[in-house]
Amino acid sequence: MTIHLHWYLPTNGDNRDIVGSGDGSQQTLAAVRSGFRAPTVEYLGGIARAAEQLGFEAVLTPTGTWCEDAWIATAALTAVTTRLRFLVAFRPGLVSPTLAAHQAATFQRVSGGRLLLNVVTGGDSVEQRRFGDHLDHDRRYARTAEFLTVLRGVSAAREPFDFHGEYYDIEQASIPFAPHEPPEVFFGGASPAAEQVAARTVDTYLAWGETPPQIAERLRRVRKLAAEAGRTLSFGIRFHVLSRDTAAEAWAEAGRLLDRIDDSRIRQTQRTLAASESVGQRRMVALHGGDRRDLEIYPNVWAGYGLVRAGAGTALVGSHREVAERIEEYHDLGIDHFILSGQPHLEEAYHFAEGAGAELRRRGLVPPIGGPGPAAS
């Protein structure tokens, strides 16, 4: 199957250093304030246009109190792009599933069908309470399962839709433009509760970048759960990337990023991350243990981002050929969607696309730029 390459929109701002992701962003931004690029529509539009021109299929936009709202930011960018899809991250417990179905239908109609959904249940009670959400970890995932049932149900309904569950009691729901096929649903989570939701309800299961043996084990487990539910899933992975003409250049850039991080910032970030309920976040921390030494956890897989960044904490680092080889290795395990990023996101999009991306195209794993690309689903 063809590889789907996606990029990232830094709606919390950009920099030549590592900008954090929901890990105490005010302190993080202060640490990298020199050269900080604000997430203006103009700057994000430049990244989106570059991603489209360079052959990326979609861009992921994050969600949280530390970044711009994903629905509004991406809706604005549909006007400056023509083919690029937008993988909009949102938290299902904070909005009605009927409203989300309505928003998705409108976005699809306005954009010409360029919406993908990234459902982020939320693994951290501290951040959830900022939104007034006080459910515990596993109940949040149970609510997500109901949310997706309603979203799909009301989208497909030819008659007013009813649903009576533990978290949602929906009566006579309908939306304009129904029935219609809702956008493909991407979803991540490393806990048993999350894996059960993925197996039963989503289209693409996402993992943060770990070593191939770790990813292979997770895929085997989720495939088994999906098969037991009579379903099959596609799989995706989230990595940062430093792809250069030579391995020495790539590792020099990784070294520069590491040299720009002081130990106090690492300690502060790791204290915050240690309190997270997220199983995926704990797995990221376990890759490095807060230690800046021995960060290459597998050939060309570097855990340095996770020292000072919540969420995705690993990067593919190496020559263009090496990065392409690692992507092909993960693809051989069953990963089809690669959601990549690099700071700054404008320049790194070119480094990757014109290097490792071009190598993947030469291998026939990615369609030619401007050619008939694979369907999003």
Percent of all residues in the chain with a pLDDT value above 70, rounded to a whole number: 94
Q: What is the mean pLDDT of the chain?
A: 92
Of the candidates 51, 312, 85, the one whose C-alpha atom is nearest the C-alpha of residue 206 is: 312
SS3 38: coil
What is residue 315's three-state secondary structure? strand
At residue 250, the 3 state secondary structure works out as: helix
User: Is the torsion defined by CA of 70, 340, 206, 79 positive or negative?
Assistant: positive
**Which carries the bigger pLDDT value, residue 330 or residue 21?**
330
Looking at residues 39-68, what average pLDDT do you find? 96
Residue 65 has pLDDT above 80, yes or no: yes
Number of helices and strands in the chain (H, E):
14, 13
Question: Between vectors from CA 39 to CA 18 and to CA 114, what angle results, nearest 5°?
Answer: 105
pLDDT band of residue 24 (cuts 50, 70, 90) is: very low
* The pLDDT value given to residue 374: 41
Pair type for strands 315-319 and 301-302:
antiparallel
**Where exactly are the structural domains of the chain?**
4-362
Write down the pTM of the prediction: 0.94
Q: What is the pLDDT of residue 35?
A: 87
Which ranges of the chain does DSSP label H, i.e. alpha helix?
Answer: 25-31, 41-53, 70-77, 97-111, 125-130, 137-156, 192-201, 212-228, 247-259, 263-274, 279-286, 320-333, 345-352, 358-362
325 has pLDDT over 70: yes
Per residue in 89-126, pLDDT tens?
999 988 999 999 999 999 999 999 999 999 999 867 77
| Residue 125 near residue 277 (C-beta atoms within 8 A) | yes
Residue 27: the pLDDT is 46
CA distances from 318 to 97, 242, 323 (A): 42, 7, 6
Residue 240: strand pairing partners: 315, 341
CATH topology of domain 4-362: TIM Barrel (3.20.20)
pLDDT computed for residue 33 by the predictor: 54
In this prediction, residue 377 has a pLDDT band, given cuts at 50, 70 and 90, of very low
How confident is the model over 193-244, as pLDDT tens digits? 999 999 999 999 999 999 999 999 999 999 999 999 999 999 999 999 999 9
